[in-house]
């Protein structure tokens, strides 16, 4: 993206990656992404906040040339993942006098990943204050949103906080600030689900910390900036809370329609009871979309055909992703169809559960059947729908009581 002025002497100098469709060879990017860098011209010193993914180095360099930046005194590295640090070696070649400011863990990782000379790095911590003339750099060491090295940089005179990935969104847009709240809310929720949800306790802590600060702009390292901080702070408060929303998520894979029939029958019975239910046919599913629905899910029902003596590999893969994301669902079960061996069918739910040891949800009654579903199978699914409905009523009631 071309240079955009945020405020007097504070500029966006990052890059938009319109074309990128996969992150970490894992996370789908339906709307591309951006790598945000910020230039701050103090009355005495010039600072760059974070670098960009090396593939977009030319964009960053071009933006710095546009602003005629001849000298950078400090480069703040809030997080060492290469999408924000990968261009640091190139920056140091162009601006050899620059000192990198970062915390001790990030320093270790920058040296490890990028082989940066440790003499080029000055360590900071939460007590550090660095004057750049008319502005001051202060730091909040905020590990585990989402790496152990993450930190935020706050400029009190401007009431701007640079939060690296925290509260960001994978969204390629020319909007400097949030304009279409609905679009950004969806992208930020997907980002939260994929990147931040495994670290929910830390997310809650730092969200509370930001709530107590005097902030006018939140500038994350992906997606548009927030000039109404409460928009994203309120969203994060909701997503990271312990509350669930009475929703059922059913990821499933069906080889010969039998598991598919069971899944659709169960979904219909839940819908009749007024329960929100969302199905994800795994071989065709965008797993990022599944992650979004896991944010609010109360119950996860894994639908799986059997392959050989265990769950279909598509269910195994999805279970490994769900386990890594650690959603706050309170209940879990599984349903499906197997081909021939009753004894193997009886073990299917235990096998599915064993794939998700990090999910601390209570097990509801699984339903596994041989071949195509019979009336008896449908009655068992009726009972499961009743069980889910009644457990949700209990869970939501307790939430309401807890909320007073």
CA–CA gap between residue 403 and residue 211 (Å, rounded): 20
What is the closest distance, in whole angstroms, from the C-beta atom of residue 166 to ligand FEO in the complex?
Answer: 9
Nearer to ligand FEO by Cβ, of 29 and 124: the residue is 29
CA 236, CA 95: separation in Å to the nearest integer?
Answer: 37
Which residues lie below 8 Å from residue 308, measured CB to CB, with a gap of 6+? none
Q: By C-beta, is 173 or 254 nearer to ligand FEO? A: 173
Query: Which phi-psi region, left, alpha or beta, contains residue 378 (left: φ > 0; alpha: ψ -120 to 50)?
Result: alpha
Tell me how far, at minimum, the Cβ of 171 lies from ligand FEO, in Å.
13
CA angle 147, 233, 326 (to 5 degrees): 45
DSSP state of 373: -
Please report the beta strands in 69-221, taking only residues with DSSP state E, as ranges in sequence order: 74-76, 99-102, 121-123, 129-131, 136-141, 151-155, 160-162, 217-219
Question: How is the beta sheet containing 160-162 ordered, strand by strand?
Answer: 129-131, 136-141, 151-155, 160-162, 217-219
Which value, to the nearest 10 degrees, does the dihedral of the CA atoms of residues 323, 328, 330, 333 take?
-30
- Least distance CB 82 / ligand FEO (angstroms): 8
**Number of residue whose CB is nearest ligand FEO:** 81
Of 112 and 390, the one with the shorter C-beta distance to ligand FEO is 112
Smaller CB distance to ligand FEO: residue 222 or 349?
222
CB of 334 to ligand FEO, least distance (A): 32
Cα dihedral sign for 9, 10, 11, 13? Answer: positive
Least spacing, CB of residue 168 vs ligand FEO, in Å: 7
Among residues 56 and 353, whose Cβ is nearest to ligand FEO?
56
Residue 146 CB, nearest distance to ligand FEO (Å)? 6
Distances (CA, A) of 359 to 146, 323, 330, 338: 19, 6, 9, 25
Task: Tell me the closest approach of the beta carbon of residue 323 to ligand FEO, in angstroms.
Answer: 20
Nearer to ligand FEO by Cβ, of 82 and 89: the residue is 82
Q: Interface residues with ligand FEO (CB under 6 A)?
A: 79, 81, 83-84, 146, 165, 221-222
Q: What is the largest CA-CA distance in the chain?
A: 79
Give me the least distance between CB of 92 and ligand FEO, in Å please. Answer: 20
The Cα angle at residue 198 between residues 195 and 200, in degrees rounded to 5: 105
* 48/282 with CB nearer ligand FEO: 48
Residue placing its CB nearer to ligand FEO in the complex, 59 or 81: 81
């Amino acid at each position: 993206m071309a240079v955009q002025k945020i405020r007097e002497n504070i500029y966006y100098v990052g890059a938009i990656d319109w074309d990128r469709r996969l992150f970490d060879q894992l996370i789908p990017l339906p709307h591309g992404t951006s790598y945000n860098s910020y230039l701050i011209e103090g009355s005495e010193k010039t600072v760059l906040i974070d670098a960009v993914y090396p593939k977009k180095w030319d964009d960053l360099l071009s933006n710095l040339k546009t602003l005629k930046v001849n000298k950078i005194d400090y480069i703040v590295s809030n997080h060492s993942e290469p999408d924000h640090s990968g261009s640091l070696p190139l920056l140091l070649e162009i601006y050899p006098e620059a000192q990198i400011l970062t915390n001790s863990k990030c320093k270790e990782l920058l040296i490890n990943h990028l082989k940066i000379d440790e003499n080029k790095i000055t360590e900071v911590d939460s007590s550090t204050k660095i004057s750049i003339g008319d502005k001051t750099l202060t730091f909040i060491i905020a590990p585990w949103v989402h790496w152990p090295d993450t930190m935020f940089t706050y400029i009190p005179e401007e009431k701007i906080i640079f939060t690296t990935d925290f509260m960001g969104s994978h969204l390629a847009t020319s909007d400097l600030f949030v304009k279409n709240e609905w679009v950004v809310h969806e992208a930020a929720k997907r980002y939260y689900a994929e990147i931040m949800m495994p670290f929910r306790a830390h997310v809650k802590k730092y969200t509370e910390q930001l709530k107590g600060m005097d902030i006018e702009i939140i500038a994350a390292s992906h997606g548009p900036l927030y000039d109404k901080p409460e928009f994203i702070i309120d969203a994060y408060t909701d997503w990271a809370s312990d509350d669930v929303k009475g929703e059922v998520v059913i990821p499933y894979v069906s080889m010969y329609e039998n598991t598919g029939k069971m899944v659709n029958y169960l979904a219909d019975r839940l819908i009749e009871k007024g329960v929100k239910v969302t199905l994800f046919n795994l071989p065709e599913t965008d797993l990022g979309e599944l992650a979004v629905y896991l944010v609010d899910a109360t119950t996860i029902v894994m639908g799986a055909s059997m392959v050989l003596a265990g769950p279909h590999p598509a269910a195994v893969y999805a279970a490994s992703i769900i386990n890594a994301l650690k959603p706050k669902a309170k209940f879990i079960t599984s349903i499906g169809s197997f081909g021939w061996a009753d004894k193997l069918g009886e073990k299917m739910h235990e096998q599915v559960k064993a794939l998700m040891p990090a999910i601390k949800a209570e097990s509801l009654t699984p339903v596994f059947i041989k071949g195509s579903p019979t009336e008896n199978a449908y009655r068992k699914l009726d009972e499961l729908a009743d069980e889910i409905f009644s457990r949700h009523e209990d869970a939501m009631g307790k939430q309401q009581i807890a909320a007073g």
